Amino acid sequence: VLSDPRFLNAVFSAIEAAARVGRGEKRAALRNAVLNSVRPGSPAADLQQVFIRYVDELQPSHLRLLKLIAEGVAQQGPNVYASTENTRRLHQVLQERDPELLSSGLLGLCCEDLASRGLIRRSSGNRDGWAQLTMLQMSADGFGQMFLKFISEPAQ
C-alpha cells in the first residue's frame, strides 16, 4: 500500500492542502481521502486529485450542505427537493444543524460552488439560495455521492 502511486499522490496532495487548512472538518476529510485512496472501488487517481482539490477549495459549510442534501436523497430519491414540503423540511434541518448557513447569506454561494463542481445540479438558473433549494439534486452520475464517499470515514 505504501508504494501504491495512488496512495502517495493522495498523501502528498493532502499534506499540501492540510498546510492551508485550519479547521478540523477539512483535515478529517483529507485524512479520509488518503485512507480511501487505495480502497477497492476508489476513484481513479486523477479524480482523487480533483476531489482533494475540492476539499482544499470548499469550506466546511459546503461539505455540511452537501451531506444534508445527500441524506435527503438517500432517504427519498434524487428529486427529493423538487417539492415545496421537502424543501421546507431541508430548511428546518438547516436551521437546526447549521443556522449560520441560512443567516449569513452563504446558502446561495454554497449552492453555486457545489453546482459549478458538478457535485449537485440545479434545474433552474435561479441563484437565490432559498429558491435554489427547491431545484437541488445530487448529480445524476453520482459524482456528488462519489466525492462524499471518498472524503468520509472508511467503513471498517
For residues 95 and 88, is the Cβ–Cβ distance under 8 A? no
**pLDDT band at 141, cuts 50/70/90?**
low
Note the pTM of the prediction, 2 decimals.
Answer: 0.78
Query: For position 97, what pLDDT does the model report?
Result: 84
**List of E strands, the chain:** 120-122, 136-138
Query: For position 122, what pLDDT does the model report?
Result: 63
What nine digits make up the cell of 70? Answer: 445527500
**pLDDT band at 81, cuts 50/70/90?**
low
What residue type is assigned to position 94 of the chain?
A: L
Query: For position 85, what pLDDT does the model report?
Result: 67
The CA distance from 80 to 86, in Å, is 6
**pLDDT band at 140, cuts 50/70/90?**
very low
The CA distance from 95 to 33, in Å, is 29
For residues 111 and 136, is the Cβ–Cβ distance under 8 A? yes
- What is the chain's mean pLDDT, rounded? 79
What does the pLDDT look like over 19-51, one tens digit per residue? 777 668 899 999 999 999 999 999 999 999 999
Angle at 57 between CA 5 and CA 91, to 5 degrees: 125
Q: Is the pLDDT of residue 153 over 90?
A: yes
Percent of the chain residues past pLDDT 90, beyond the cut: 28
What does the pLDDT look like over 65-79, one tens digit per residue? 888 878 776 666 555
Among 42, 41, 45, which Cα is nearest to 12's? 45
